[in-house]
Structure 1
């Protein structure tokens, strides 16, 4: 290590000694909770929002707009935090998120809400990766493993509290407060960061890679747009899809060329040459597909086929969010004893076991067995994601830790977006195939399946009609879970390729 690098590390350690770690951790967990609860609380309130604002055809865009902006900005924020420090970039992200939240609660139409969700997502892209990166900065490798478990518990708590808070606000106050509840949390998080986090970022004139940021934004946003709308609004081989895909590929190629010549590249491609980072990020892509496959389609199976109420369907998903933080906390301790590769393998085995349960799930099994499958997926995610983040942060210096952490979260988001398109397409085509093979495509359409999700409408169906629709949904979901199982096996194989421990202590 050079003398200059040693001096920089000494400065950073001196500044970290002034930092009040417990208070900073509390501020980070508040910021993460604010972003994590957003997903579950808005999902719960959406039927009431749609009823009030109208525009049901744009329903999915309320989620897609947030996801799109989150995904396209996450890498850019990660790099900016490496250039200018974590505190100013995270604070900026929280402020933009809060402005978006305030505006969302004031929306007078579904179109306005979608635009304001873009703003919210633009801020949210900074929260998760930089919060995790600050933990990587403040704590040693040994401490980091345990703290990542605490951060994961935020997801579990938000998954349990989100639907409850959302339901209570919709019922007793107004759906608008679902967005406004974020504001005090965000303000407290910013105050905590400014009072207790002290960074010593090297003061020098930075060469910001504006061209790289712009090309990355263009490439990812056009690709995400295709993933969200392909097979829904546009057929896969239509002119808009092919045009957007072409733009995405050309922009990515130009981005790659730009990064090779940029003085301070937005995405230093050399981090991908580190085998552990390459495999961790690729595995995050495959587990992202699995994650969306379970969370999107399990409630439909529990409500439509098992004929259970929405609250029971919600319970089967909540167990995933309980398994995740429990496994993450155990993983934090195991990492220090058996290393990140063996800990990741435990996660890979749990993912396969969970996917086998879903692959063989039948209406007779009941929601408890479905919840157990969901729990096992959560355990697998807890073990693997904790191992990945700790191993990535241990293999890169401070100057690249922000973008390296962000790259892992970006890959998981990308996997979920691809998974939503891929698995949604499989589900729809299998339902249509089943209806055609039973000669009932004239009586039923794809939309007929939604009749199963409402108890009153389901009870109005004749027994034979209900059985055909339920059998069609079961057949289609089994195909989806077969693909999910394939991704579980692929994830396990990738984990086996992780190198044996040789972690440098950054």
Structure 2
């Protein structure tokens, strides 16, 4: 079906790199962007708009890739991403930049699921772990170089080039995919699930915003929309997410474990840098590198997962990953004010290795458990649940951290981790430092609970099942 795989994989890696870097490159350019465009209060939406639209459109693209083919949807997604990049690069106000980032997210929603589906299409089962590791390494390297590249471009040239530099690279990726990817796909008439798409979009956006902004009414409205989406999917002629996936133990387990992976991933990403800087006294760059080690363990373990699941199966490979996550969570709880930063990096490396084993084995297990014509739908759904898990995890872990902090600093007026960290920067006392350490410690304890829930999610998958693709 598809030949000349090496240049195609290079094109897929370049496509994935653009979307991956975009998730981290903006953070270090905040001062320069605000200096030019103003409206600092709106800046969080520059990041949130990208994440929201990417999450919403990931399952939609996965379904459309099954209907219209992988190649055209990837090219369309890349095109939309580049339009958003161009608009962001020339943005003349903060609202325009937020709109541009939302457009980028719409395009990025195609890139991760379709690159993973194409990898599954191109390579036999025994080689998919290696290719998944290569694609995962793109995200790991991007996490390392994204913030640094954003800082360099905004300081030496202009913050606008963190968006404009993607244009020639994106065009190159589109050219490679267009010329080298040969896809044999039989198209047939379909009825798009427009109502289901609208209900899903409203539900995801309202729920994620409600969780992030602690707006219970918005979260309830979003949940109600998702319930309506589930009801409609049982009646739609060609549902966006077919109801049978919830009855299939393989796909159900992949969805649930994807949700847990997203929640576990957000813990160290949000709280370790704060702990490293406020409690351990590390600088911002050193704290960032302690976290970035996680992005090394992930692709290494993902690359090895193929050998494991061919020997012991997908479920047991995922369970091995969850054991590593549990070990890393216990290691995190041993962090204190006297711990060396190298130990924090070791914790994140073990955590990343565990996440790599779980995510790769469960994703590929879900892919091989369904026919090829349903592979895009399942892949997009698994990745959607991982993104949704990140939003849910941010809310749950913030509640754990902030309640712990409030209990330790009762009556001081500090109600959030950010408040306490800012107080330390302004000369806050030892009591604030100890309270901050205790609240982050409770977050790490929560990771142990999440690892246990992950084991239960993985155990839903049968140890052996038919490989249909």
2:329 to 355, 363, 373: 355
1:287 is aligned to 2:261: yes
Deviations 1:192-239 (A, max 9, x none): 111111222223222111111112112212111212211xxx4xxxxx
Give the gaps of 5 or more residues in structure 1. Answer: 1-14, 235-240
Question: What is the match of residue 472 of structure 1?
Answer: 435
Deviations 1:323-380 (A, max 9, x none): 1011111112222222212211210111001111112210101211111111111001
Deviations 1:460-492 (A, max 9, x none): x2xxx4212211211211122211221112112
Change (3 A) 1:59 1:346: same
Question: What is the match of residue 222 of structure 2?
Answer: 248
Change (3 A) 1:20 1:422: same
1:316 is aligned to 2:316: no
Deviation at 1:448, TM superposition (A): 4.3
Contact 1:286 1:415 in 2 (8 A): yes
Q: How does 1:119-268 map to 2 (within 5 A)?
A: 119-230=103-214, 234=215, 241-242=216-217, 244-268=218-242
Deviation at 1:300, TM superposition (A): 0.5
Q: What is the CA–CA distance in structure 1 between the aligned matches of 2:325 and 2:281, rounded to whole Å?
A: 26
Deviation at 1:273, TM superposition (A): 1.9
Contact 2:241 2:377 in 1 (8 A): yes
Question: What is the match of residue 274 of structure 1?
Answer: 248
Contact 2:368 2:467 in 1 (8 A): yes
Change (3 A) 1:280 1:123: same
Farther off after superposition, 151-160 or 66-75: 151-160
Any idea what SS the aligned residue of 1:364 has?
A: coil
Contact 1:392 1:404 in 2 (8 A): yes
Any idea what SS the aligned residue of 2:184 has?
A: coil
The structure with the larger Rg is 1
Question: What is the match of residue 30 of structure 2?
Answer: 46
Any idea what SS the aligned residue of 2:83 has?
A: helix
Deviation at 1:279, TM superposition (A): 1.1
Aligned residues: 468
Change (3 A) 1:50 1:466: farther
Q: What is the CA–CA distance in structure 2 between the aligned matches of 1:192 and 1:479, rounded to whole Å?
A: 48
Question: What is the match of residue 337 of structure 1?
Answer: 311
TM-score normalised according to structure 1 size? 0.89
Q: What is the CA–CA distance in structure 2 between the aligned matches of 1:49 and 1:424, rounded to whole Å?
A: 27
Q: What is the CA–CA distance in structure 2 between the aligned matches of 1:138 and 1:403, rounded to whole Å?
A: 17
RMSD between aligned residues: 1.8
Q: What is the CA–CA distance in structure 1 between the aligned matches of 2:412 and 2:309, rounded to whole Å?
A: 54
Any idea what SS the aligned residue of 2:23 has?
A: helix
1:381 is aligned to 2:355: yes
Deviation at 1:246, TM superposition (A): 4.2
Deviations 1:363-402 (A, max 9, x none): 1012111111111110011111110111111111111100
Deviation at 1:422, TM superposition (A): 1.7
1:58 is aligned to 2:21: no
Question: What is the match of residue 80 of structure 2?
Answer: 96
1:85 is aligned to 2:69: yes
Question: What is the match of residue 34 of structure 1?
Answer: 18
Moved over 6 A (4+): none
Deviations 1:260-299 (A, max 9, x none): 2222211112123221221121011112111111101111
Question: What is the match of residue 366 of structure 1?
Answer: 340
Q: How does 1:439-458 map to 2 (within 5 A)?
A: 439-441=411-413, 446=416, 448-451=419-422, 454=425, 457=426
Contact 2:297 2:353 in 1 (8 A): yes
TM-score normalised according to structure 2 size? 0.95
Q: What is the CA–CA distance in structure 2 between the aligned matches of 1:484 and 1:110, rounded to whole Å?
A: 36
Contact 1:141 1:505 in 2 (8 A): no
Change (3 A) 1:428 1:56: farther
1:416 to 390, 394, 399: 390
Question: What is the match of residue 502 of structure 1?
Answer: 465
Deviation at 1:92, TM superposition (A): 0.9
Contact 1:72 1:220 in 2 (8 A): yes
Deviation at 1:445, TM superposition (A): 6.3
Contact 2:18 2:166 in 1 (8 A): yes
Question: What is the match of residue 435 of structure 1?
Answer: 409
